[in-house]
A = this chain, B = another copy of it.
């Protein structure tokens, strides 16, 4: 009897689809890592959240570091596949896609995935923030492995459709765009607090209608 390896992603806690214990642990770790950070999260809490014995996590993932990386790999793989696919489509369908369409292709998958996470919107985005913004060697290796490839694709797309954007400014533009997206997706509650409830981050289209024009105007300001 083998495992039926069906990489059904999505994997939110609102379970219609049946999950293997392996996948249940991954989903549980996502919530706990997001809430407490890598170091603050404990294997005990993850096991409790997943409804399994603590020893089972070590059977499947060996160590805490490996569990974290497996969780990042599953989620980032799904989102970055969508991004790469959207980007390819854009250049197949148009000679010169608009900057707006490219920026939207960058953010829509993450925002939609974040919002569709039942109960814990922004969980994975918060993990990304703390990982990508760490200067630690391990964290930067993870970022390089799972996020630099798609970053290079977008930077190349930017210089292609905006010829007056120098390569270093394109890199800055990408970094800035990611930074803007982080504040939008992390859902810390600060925007709502500062605006006394005026700012709502629960609707993907509203969010994109703020973030896309902001970033596109910023990028164009960096062209020579």
A interface residues (Cβ-Cβ under 8 A, vs B): 34-40, 122, 126, 129-130, 132-136, 140, 143-144, 148, 151-152, 155, 167-169, 171-176, 178-184, 186-191, 193-195, 198-199, 210-211, 213-222
> Is the beta-carbon distance between B210 and A169 smaller than 8 angstroms?
yes
Most B CB atoms within 10 A — which of A171, A172, A213? A172
Given A136-B35, A168-B198, CB of A183 within 8 Å of CB of B188:
no
Report the bound CA distance from A16 to B25 in whole Å.
52
12 inter-chain pairs at a CB distance below 8 angstroms, sorted by A residue, are: A35-B136, A130-B134, A132-B188, A133-B188, A135-B188, A151-B194, A171-B195, A171-B199, A178-B183, A214-B221, A216-B221, A217-B218
Nearest chain B CB to A40's CB is how many angstroms away? 4
Q: Which of B140, B148, B191, B218 contacts A218 (CB 8 A)?
A: B218
Instruction: Give chain B residues whose Cβ lies under 8 Å from the Cβ of A37.
Output: 37-39, 130, 134
> Is the beta-carbon distance between A187 and B135 smaller than 8 angstroms?
yes
> Is the beta-carbon distance between A194 and B174 smaller than 8 angstroms?
yes
Number of this chain's copies in the complex: 2
> Is the beta-carbon distance between A140 and B190 smaller than 8 angstroms?
yes
Given A172-B199, A191-B171, CB of A129 within 8 Å of CB of B129:
yes
Given A35-B136, A135-B35, A188-B140, CB of A198 within 8 Å of CB of B179:
no
Nearest chain B CB to A100's CB is how many angstroms away? 11
Instruction: Give chain B residues whose Cβ lies under 8 Å from the Cβ of A144.
Output: 193
Report the bound CA distance from A132 to B193 in whole Å.
13
Given contact pairs A155-B194, A168-B198, enumerate 8 new A-B contacts (beta carbons under 8 Å).
A35-B135, A130-B133, A130-B134, A134-B188, A135-B188, A144-B193, A176-B210, A214-B219
Cβ-closest 10 pairs across A and B = A179-B183, A217-B221, A214-B218, A168-B198, A171-B195, A39-B40, A179-B179, A218-B218, A217-B217, A39-B39
> Is the beta-carbon distance between A190 and B175 smaller than 8 angstroms?
yes
> Is the beta-carbon distance between A186 and B217 smaller than 8 angstroms?
no
Most B CB atoms within 10 A — which of A173, A188, A190, A220? A190
